Amino acid sequence: MAKLWAIVIKEYRHLIRDPKTLLMIVFTPLIVTILFGLGYGGSPGRVPIALVLEDMSSLGYRLALKIRNVPPFDVAYTPRTRYEAMDLILDGEVFAVVIVPRDFEEEVMKGRGFIEVIVDEANPLIADLLASALDKIAYEIQLQVSEKARHPVVKVIIRTVYGPTVSKMESFMPLVLGVLLHLVPMSLISISICRERELGTFEQLVMTPISKWDIIVGKLIAYYTATMSDLVLTLAIAVVLFEVRVRSSLMDLIIFSSAFLFCSLSIGMLISVLARNQLQAQQASIFFFIPSLLFSGAFTPLKMLSPFARTMALTLPMPYFVNGIKALMIRGFSLLDVLYDLEAILIIAMLYFLSAIYMLKLKL
């Protein structure tokens, strides 16, 4: 026990002598909890949908009023025709379209009424929430007209936009690719310079006739090619074994993913430049990845998060990647359609890349 206790005391002394590592260990759980509370515990945002009211009866208006008061949805558009509504959902302006068909009240009294819903299954959570809310509304409408009709029926018919269905694997592929292209390369490259300092090979780099640009760009290229090989293998497995459909051009997908990978590597390189040892670098990578994952939009659309979370998401590359990769893989958009997300990722990448070059000191 005395020997064991001596080891424990030694490790505690190492931590005390390394205040950066100690601060990360103490404050990481606290900060993550605060971020989660600010992002998901505050007043949530509202998800835009479109409402097409083809039936002008009193029951149709009553149903439209109920739909307007369903949280967390916001009837942002009221197009006159379903064709205009389809353009809105295809352009990504709304997450779903609710259609109250013609003769709705008459059909309800006859026992064959229905509400038509067209959802964007690129966001499966939205589809489930909306279906559940409309089922409840349909039941309330049936109760209200039960005195006038013997067997009133209001069904909810749900259709999707992109093909007959979007599988669960397809809807979660953006998150899988995000982890592959963000956490993995960022963690690996973040320890590269720290490892060389600890092994003593950094002195050799200092003595060689190379510049800071050569060191950083060389490391970026090495980790870039390795990670892109993993990306191609992951996509091949997803397509062959799990029948995942990639609806956009493969070249567009590779270009967009390459920009995000460059951003992840630049962040990891800056971490490696600033960290004193490998443990600090690994902790910093995980610490950076946690808010990126929480506010990525992969689990909950950003518009459903609090204003703080939406503002913070604008400074992170992951939300732009998830939004863009969904548009490419599920909606079948082209690279030009996700140009805003691509430009945001490249701007963030250049900020971290140039910072890493500036902060790197070729001295012992």
Domains parsed from the chain with CATH numbers? 47-160 (3.40.1710.10), 167-359 (no CATH)
**Contact call for residues 138 and 155 (beta carbons, < 8 A):** yes
Q: How high is the pLDDT of residue 142?
A: 82
Query: Would the pLDDT of 360 be above 80?
Result: no
Q: Please tell me the pTM assigned to this model.
A: 0.80
Q: How high is the pLDDT of residue 144?
A: 79
Q: How high is the pLDDT of residue 42?
A: 58
Residue that the structure tokens 């007043």 belong to: 43
Condensed to tens digits (0 to 9), the pLDDT of residues 81-140 reads: 888 888 888 777 888 899 998 888 888 888 888 888 888 777 777 777 888 888 888 888
What long-range pairs does 144-147 form, CB within 8 A, spacing at least 24? 144/62, 145/59, 145/108, 145/109
> What are 12's two structure tokens?
């505690």
**Contact call for residues 82 and 113 (beta carbons, < 8 A):** no
Report, as an integer, the average pLDDT of 153-180. Answer: 78
Residue that the structure tokens 């009553």 belong to: 62
Between 211 and 174, the more confident residue is: 174
Condensed to tens digits (0 to 9), the pLDDT of residues 302-329 reads: 877 878 888 888 899 999 999 999 889 8
> What are 206's two structure tokens?
């200092």
Helix (H, G, I), strand (E, B) or coil at 156: strand
The percent of residues above 70 in pLDDT, for the chain, comes to 85
Strand partners, 159: 118
Q: How high is the pLDDT of residue 316?
A: 93
